[in-house]
Amino acid sequence: MGVVVPISEAPRGNGITALTELCAPGMKRVNELILSKAGSDVEMIPEVARHLISSGGKRLRPMLTLAAAQMCGYEGDGDIKLATSVEFMHTATLLHDDVVDESDRRRSKPTARMIWGNQASVLVGDFLLGQAFKMMVEVGSMDALDVLSTAASIIAEGEVMQLAAAKNLATTEDEYLWVINAKTAALFSAASEVGPIIANGKHEERTALKSFGTNLGLAFQLVDDVLDYSGDAKDLGKNVGDDFREGKITLPVLLAYRRGTEEEREFWKDSLEGGNNDDAQLEKARALMAKYGALSDTITRARHFGAIAHDALGPFKQSPVKNALLDVVDFCVSRVN
């Protein structure tokens, strides 16, 4: 793996810590709301929801909403509900994804579908999505509803596209970027954009934060793709090789495939499209990625989007929350090392 150069020379570099600290009071309320809104007399719902919610994600998305609102001077409490909606949308996607991908484990724990079954996972996901929309309606901003419901439909569209494009090594990089825009960046973008919306921010604050979220999301997902093949992913709860074993076509694969010889391309077809994906095959995949610089070039691509996210915040005045958001960009790009 190449050395990761920080995107900016600014004296920041606190990773995600500064954002976590700045958002701590708000996130305490978000977490309370999560637990209360995941409650139901149907006993299985809170059980399933809590299983996933307690599994210890970074809660990056709701923090983006809180931070974006704060950066635009918001002082009400609608951001708490919107942030919770964003996290519910994310949780619903994970529940549904695990069913679609037939995943056994997530963050080193059994997936909900392994404990409660596929039907429960699908339906609890739907329930959380419903709760998310109810909270958005309570907040009463038609613009925020528009942005978040558009994101929800893009996410679903992306899942269908990924299903259709699955195991297709002929996927172009542009098509793949579209998929990860839908899968990841759309929600990062919406989470960031609803901040200025609820804060009644200027139009350019909205577009800037929307662009920030989109590009942060793209960078985040590309680095995630790299982590799945690099040795350092264990402490992030991902097992190295998960994407490979599931036959997922990600950018490191696409680059290695496109740069490879005819014979190497047969290897990729055999392993990813054909399902011949044991540990020896995984090692060969990693060797081919090293040969063609596929992981380091994926990081270079991620850095491009990180740089755009960084510049997107240019017009905002210096502030602790702005610095914390810039730190998150660096964190996302540099969590591989």
Nearer to a copy of itself, 63 or 302 (CB): 302
Phi, psi for residue 290 in degrees, rounded to 5: -65, -45
Closest CA to 269 of 298, 286, 247: 247
Q: Which of 59, 210 has the CB closer to a copy of itself?
A: 210
- Nearer CB in complex with a copy of itself: 6/117: 6
Piece of the chain touching a copy of itself by CB under 8 A; list 83-91, 231-239, 268-276, 306-314? 306-314
Near a copy of itself in 45-74, by CB under 8 A: none
Closest distance of CB 311 from a copy of itself, Å:
5
**Residue 64 burial by Cβ neighbours in a 10 Å radius (0-12, 13-18, 19+):** buried
Give the nearer residue to a copy of itself in terms of CB position, either 217 or 241: 217
Q: Does 153 bind a copy of itself (CB under 8 A)?
A: no
Check: CB of residue 123 under 8 Å from CB of residue 44: no
CA distance 17 to 323: 11
Task: Give the Cα separation of 182 and 152 in Å (integer).
Answer: 9
Binding of a copy of itself at residue 330 (CB under 8 A)?
no
The CA distances from residue 81 to 51, 136, 245, in Å, are 21, 7, 38
Shortest distance, position 177 Cβ to a copy of itself, whole Å = 9
How many residues bind a copy of itself (CB under 8 A)? The answer is: 31
- For position 172 contacting a copy of itself by CB under 8 A, the verdict is yes
Nearer to a copy of itself, 137 or 177 (CB): 177
Report the residue number, 275 or 315, with the smaller CB distance to a copy of itself: 315
Task: Choose, by CB under 8 A, the member of 297, 323, 325, 330 that binds a copy of itself.
Answer: 297
Q: Does 254 bind a copy of itself (CB under 8 A)?
A: yes
Which residue number, 248 or 259, has a Cβ lying nearer to a copy of itself? 259
In eight-state DSSP terms, residue 274 is S
- Judged by CB, which is closer to a copy of itself: 155, or 294? 294
Of 226, 224, 313, 299, the residue nearest 8 (C-alpha): 313
Binds a copy of itself by CB under 8 A, chosen from 119, 153, 276, 300? 300
For the chain, the 3-state helix, strand and coil shares in percent, each to the nearest 5, are 70, 0, 25
The answer to whether 143 contacts a copy of itself (rule: CB under 8 A) is no
For the bound state, the minimum distance from the C-beta of residue 207 to a copy of itself, rounded and expressed in Å, comes to 5
Binding mask 174-193 for a copy of itself (x = CB under 8 A): xx------------------
In the complex with a copy of itself, the residue whose CB is nearer, 183 or 303, is 303
Q: Which residues are within 8 A (CB) of 101 and not within 5 positions of it... i.e. 6 or more apart?
A: 246
Q: Does 308 bind a copy of itself (CB under 8 A)?
A: yes
The 10 Å Cβ neighbour count of residue 317 is 6
Minimal distance in Å, beta carbon 304 to a copy of itself? 4
Q: Report DSSP letters for 296-331, one per residue.
A: HHHHHHHHHHHHHHHHHTTTSPP-HHHHHHHHHHHH
Contacts of 330 (CB under 8 A, 6+ apart): 6, 7, 8, 12, 13, 15, 306
Residue 319 Rama label (left phi>0; alpha psi -120 to 50; beta): beta
Q: Are 96 and 137 in contact (CB under 8 A)?
A: no
Report 193-252 residues binding a copy of itself (CB under 8 A).
203-204, 207-208, 210-211, 214-215
Residues that bind a copy of itself (CB under 8 A): 170-175, 203-204, 207-208, 210-211, 214-215, 254-255, 257-260, 265, 297, 300-301, 304, 307-308, 311-312, 314-315
